[in-house]
């Protein structure tokens, strides 16, 4: 059995660099063996101060390196499929940042490849499942502490969007987290998605309609809605209010020092996802490493990646036609039941 994960991190951008730091400083049982980026200077900068790590420009070279026995994929989503298939062929533990792949067809190919391998090797980076408040709300739902869950109201607000953030990316890159969260909370598949485009902000780039209202139904009839608002200016907010038969539970409110001074009261707004979910990312990666050392996975599966990709596909269609679009899913393979 593997004693320590020697991880190749593919992609040293915003998310990859963050994971490299946590693997190097906070995670037990794993080390960074290699960092790969097409921009080699970025890979070289990322391994600075990490003993024994090498910088490469080609993912395949890292996977073929005898010192590497696990891989963390943090390239843009459209590049995941190719690296995933090569890593599955190596039969090594894989942490793949969300999305598994950008569409249901290619995600299904990954599910099929893993089935052929015969065991789960891929954990998908839906880190919200590792957030303490998400876990607490999940437990209230599972234990029926407040009766049946009836509705979920989600707010997903970003200060601004990076260049090139398209209309579809509001669904594929942002609401994909809520699709997974709703599936996690309810333990059910999502059956339909509708997107309503109302009055838009003048602060959105050309071609992007912001905000959008996403309406979701699950198999048992739980209704969920998401306000996705990616140019909200004020800061970052990911919050949920859950309505039960016997109460209401809210998570995701900014907490921290509450100050009264100079005739004003208040606190600070969370600036971004690294701050809001820093502890969740740590817990996610530690769970992946601990499970990988037992030859298991410690979080969301390739099936979760496929199912959310199918939700995204329905969501993008719904963005275009305004209709309620059914989510089409293949039968769940025994490996994931």
User: Three-state SS string across 206-272, please?
Assistant: CCCCCCEEEEEEECCCCEEEEEEECCCCCCCEEEEEEEECCEEEEECCCCCCCEEECCEEECCCCCC
Helix, strand, or coil here: 311?
A: helix
Report the residue number, 134 or 273, with the smaller CB distance to ligand NAD: 273
Report if residue 157 touches ligand NAD, rule: CB under 6 A: no
The owner of tokens 């099929």 is: 112
Residue 32 touching ligand NAD (CB under 6 A): no
Element (H, E) at 205: none
Which residue in the set 130, 273, 303, 306 belongs to the binding site for ligand NAD (CB under 6 A)? 273
The H-or-E segment that residue 146 falls in is none
Site map 250..269 versus ligand NAD, x via CB under 6 A: --------------------
| Interface stretch with ligand NAD, choices 33-41, 183-191, 261-269, 296-304 (CB under 6 A) | 33-41
What phi, psi does 172 have (nearest 5°)? -70, -35
Residue 88 is encoded by which pair of tokens? Answer: 């599955």
Q: Is the CB of 120 or the CB of 156 nearer to ligand NAD?
A: 156
**DSSP for 69-122, written as a single string:** -EEEE-S-GGGHHHHHHHHHHHT--EEEESPSSSSHHHHHHHHHHHHHHTS--E
Kindly state whether residue 16 participates in binding ligand NAD, applying the rule CB under 6 A.
yes
In the bound state with ligand NAD, the residue whose beta carbon lies nearer, of 38 and 249, is 38
- Are the beta carbons of 86 and 113 closer than 8 angstroms? no
Q: Is 38 a residue that touches ligand NAD (CB under 6 A)?
A: yes
Binding mask 59-98 for ligand NAD (x = CB under 6 A): x--------------xxxx-x-----------------xx
Nearer to ligand NAD, 194 or 277 (CB): 277
94 and 87 Cβ atoms separated by less than 8 Å: yes
Q: Which residue number has the CB closest to ligand NAD?
A: 13
**14 sits near ligand NAD (criterion: CB under 6 A):** yes
Residue from 5, 23, 27, 37 touching ligand NAD (CB under 6 A): that is 37
- Residue 7 within binding range of ligand NAD, rule CB under 6 A: no
- Residue 180 interacts with ligand NAD (CB under 6 A)? no
Binding residues for ligand NAD restricted to 120-139, rule: CB under 6 A = 125, 127
Nearest distance from residue 335's CB to ligand NAD, in Å? 23
CA distance 16 to 118: 28
Nearest approach, Cβ of residue 331 and ligand NAD (Å): 27
* Angle at alpha carbon of residue 96, lines to 184 and 20, rounded to 5°: 115
Residue closer to ligand NAD by CB (options 58, 148) is: 58
Phi, psi of 51 (to 5 degrees): -65, 135
Q: Does 13 bind ligand NAD (CB under 6 A)?
A: yes
Query: Which of 57, 63, 108, 117 has its CA nearest to residue 81?
Result: 108
How far is residue 328's CA from residue 307's CA, in Å, rounded to a whole number?
A: 9
Does residue 285 belong to the site contacting ligand NAD (CB under 6 A)? no
Q: Which residues bind ligand NAD (CB under 6 A)?
A: 10-16, 36-39, 42, 59, 74-77, 79, 97-98, 125, 127, 173, 273
């Amino acid at each position: 059995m593997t004693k320590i994960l020697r991880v190749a991190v593919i992609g040293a951008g915003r998310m990859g660099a963050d994971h490299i730091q946590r693997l190097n400083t906070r995670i037990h049982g794993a080390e960074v063996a290699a960092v790969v980026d097409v921009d080699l200077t970025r890979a070289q900068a990322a391994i600075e101060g990490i003993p024994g790590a090498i910088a490469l420009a080609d993912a395949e070279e890292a996977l073929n390196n005898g010192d590497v026995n696990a891989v963390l994929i943090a390239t843009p989503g459209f590049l995941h499929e190719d690296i995933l298939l090569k890593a599955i062929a190596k039969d090594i533990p894989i942490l793949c940042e969300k999305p598994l792949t950008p569409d249901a067809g290619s995600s299904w190919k990954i599910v099929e490849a893993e089935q052929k391998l015969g065991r789960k090797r891929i954990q998908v980076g839906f880190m919200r499942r590792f957030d303490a408040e998400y876990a607490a709300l999940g437990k209230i739902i599972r234990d029926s502490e407040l009766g049946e869950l009836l509705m979920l109201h989600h707010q997903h607000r970003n200060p601004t969007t990076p260049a090139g953030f398209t209309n579809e990316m509001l669904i594929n890159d942002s609401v994909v987290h809520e699709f997974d969260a709703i599936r996690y909370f309810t333990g059910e598949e999502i059956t339909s998605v509708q997107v309503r485009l109302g009055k838009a902000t003048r602060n959105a780039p050309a071609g992007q309609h912001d905000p959008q209202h996403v309406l979701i139904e699950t198999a048992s009839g739980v209704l969920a809605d998401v306000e996705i608002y990616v140019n909200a200016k004020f800061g970052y907010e990911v919050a949920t209010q859950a309505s039960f038969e016997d109460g209401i539970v809210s998570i995701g409110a900014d907490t921290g020092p509450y100050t009264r001074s100079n005739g004003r009261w208040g606190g600070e707004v969370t600036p971004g996802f690294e701050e809001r979910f820093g502890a969740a990312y740590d817990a996610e990666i530690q769970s992946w490493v601990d499970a990988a050392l037992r030859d298991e996975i410690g979080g969301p599966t390739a099936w979760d990646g496929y199912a959310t990709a199918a939700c995204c596909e329905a969501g993008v269609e719904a963005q275009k036609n305004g209709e309620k679009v059914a989510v089409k899913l293949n039968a769940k393979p025994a490996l994931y039941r």
